[in-house]
């Protein structure tokens, strides 16, 4: 059973090295590439101001975040939720960099960036030269992102889960079927051939009264009726 966590964060700015902090985490659980409906979401008091540029992106103000828990207070529950799962992140270096900076403060084990699935890198390989931000990918794959008026970690994780499914081949990949696609096609063809080879018996829908009336009609038009030949009867020799 493959367990993956699609993850997104929002932050006070763009550089953890300069003191910017995580202010929101959103996670969506997937098993064998199928969302389970289980998620994790938290707002965090960063203990520092949100930059104007970041606020313009996500709309999370200092006032809104003031009464939220600090990262150290939610670190254990967050680590428990993502434990033993592969992380799926759009532009993984950004989010992992911020989370590792937070873990460095709390003493938790840091993420290995190489273990994360970076959907931005996947999209660039699949669509070289095209725009591969989340909105562009939603447009490309026909995914509804109309609710995304501002960036939000949980909403973006939910949307990214849909994008990720498309990047790895579409929704059919999530079904746990015992046969590979080519084998399933061969099995289906064999089944159709076997079904077509079986003789088909047509079931008469005529009532006994209708059948008797039909026979009486044939008899009424004499022994030379052409219908008798089609019915397999021998036509009487002319006298």
Structure tokens at 164: 């990720």
Catalytic residue among 33, 58, 90, 151: 151
Please give the Cα distance from 25 to 8 (Å, whole number): 6
| Beta strand pairing call for 86-89 and 3-11 | parallel
Catalytic residue status for 151: yes
What is the rounded CA–CA span in Å between residue 161 and residue 186?
A: 31
- Residue 127: CA atoms inside 13 Å, Cβ hemisphere, count? 14
Q: Contact at 8 Å (CB) between 112 and 103?
A: no
b/e code 89-112 from CB counts within 10 Å (16+ = b): bbbbebbbbbbbbbbeeeebeebe
Active site (catalytic) residues: 151
């Amino acid at each position: 059973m493959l367990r993956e966590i699609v993850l997104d964060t929002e932050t006070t700015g763009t550089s953890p090295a300069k003191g910017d902090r995580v202010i929101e985490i959103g996670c969506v659980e997937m098993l064998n590439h199928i969302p389970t409906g289980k998620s994790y979401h938290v707002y965090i008091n960063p203990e520092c101001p949100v930059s104007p540029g970041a606020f313009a992106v996500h709309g999370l103000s200092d006032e809104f975040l003031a009464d939220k828990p600090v990262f150290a207070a939610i670190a254990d529950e967050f680590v428990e939720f993502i434990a033993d799962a592969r992380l799926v992140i759009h532009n993984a270096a950004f989010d992992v960099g911020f989370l590792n900076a937070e873990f460095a403060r709390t003493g938790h084990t840091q993420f290995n960036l190489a273990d994360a699935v970076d959907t931005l890198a996947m999209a660039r390989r699949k669509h070289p030269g095209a725009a591969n931000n989340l909105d562009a990918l939603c447009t490309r794959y026909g995914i509804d992102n109309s609710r995304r008026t501002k960036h939000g970690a949980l909403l973006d994780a939910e949307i990214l889960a849909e994008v990720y499914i498309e990047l790895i081949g579409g929704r059919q990949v999530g079904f746990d079927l015992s046969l590979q696609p080519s084998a399933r096609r061969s099995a289906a063809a064999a089944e159709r051939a076997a079904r077509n080879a079986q003789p088909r018996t047509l079931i008469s829908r005529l009532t006994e009264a209708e059948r008797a009336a039909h026979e009486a009609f044939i008899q009424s038009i004499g022994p030379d009726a052409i219908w008798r030949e089609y019915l397999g009867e021998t036509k009487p020799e002319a006298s």
